[in-house]
């Protein structure tokens, strides 16, 4: 949750009616609402501020967050299990200092997943067959990445494959 400075809450209001006969209620939002134009920027800016303020304490997490974060996903790796455990602990500490709890952990190493309290969030204590991040499939058991390609026949309105349907299918691969 990213709180908005109190002086700015008048700029983000929601108008609400419980029913058609009720009077209009106005609410001021105290935190960033996802779906607003500024939300992605504010999320990235807050993460940058967290690193600026507390990054000196967590050097491994700082370099990972600076280089390997995409929107709200950290996609990274380490050369050894011990450094991965250290990174995991530093990431948890860095973000918990800002009141943020990390969740949706995934790994191809069961040791990294075993130290979580299952009630803490979206943590599976098994290695999944595949998981998705930023539209890219990751298969942890084989440690490979993949992406799905729509069939050109699925894109085409008719059974005839045309240049147009081919280019449309190609564009979908590039966009997704």
> What digits encode the pLDDT tens for the residues 48-90?
999 999 999 999 999 999 999 887 788 898 999 999 999 999 9
pLDDT at 119 exceeding the cut of 80 = no
Q: Which residues contact 8 (CB under 8 A, 6 or more apart)?
A: none
Contact 10, 26 (CB under 8 A): no
In sign, the C-alpha dihedral spanning 65, 71, 73, 79 is negative
Mean pLDDT (the chain, rounded): 83
**What is residue 81's predicted lDDT score, i.e. its pLDDT?**
92
More reliable by pLDDT, 116 or 6: 6
> What digits encode the pLDDT tens for the residues 15-37?
999 999 999 999 999 998 888 88
Q: What is the pTM of this model?
A: 0.71
Which of 125, 127, 101, 129 has its CA nearest to residue 114? Answer: 125
| Burial (CB count within 10 angstroms: exposed 0-12, middle 13-18, buried 19+), residue 88 | buried
Helix (H, G, I), strand (E, B) or coil at 43: helix
Can you read off the two tokens belonging to residue 133? 């991040």
């Amino acid at each position: 949750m990213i709180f908005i400075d109190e002086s700015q809450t008048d700029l983000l209001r929601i108008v609400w009616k419980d029913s058609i006969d009720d009077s209009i209620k106005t609410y001021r939002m105290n935190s960033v609402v996802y779906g607003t134009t500024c939300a992605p920027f504010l999320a990235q800016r807050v993460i940058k501020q967290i690193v600026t303020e507390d990054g000196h304490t967590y050097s491994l997490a700082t370099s990972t967050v600076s280089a390997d974060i995409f929107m709200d996903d950290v996609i990274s790796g380490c050369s050894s299990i011990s450094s991965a455990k250290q990174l995991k602990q530093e990431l948890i500490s860095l973000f918990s200092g800002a009141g943020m709890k990390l969740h949706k952990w995934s790994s191809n190493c069961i040791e990294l997943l075993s130290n979580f309290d299952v009630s803490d969030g979206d943590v599976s204590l098994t290695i999944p067959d595949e998981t998705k991040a930023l539209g890219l499939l990751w298969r942890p058991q084989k440690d490979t990445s993949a992406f799905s390609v729509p069939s050109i026949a699925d894109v085409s309105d008719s059974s005839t494959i045309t240049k147009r349907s081919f280019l449309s299918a190609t564009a979908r691969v590039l966009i997704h």
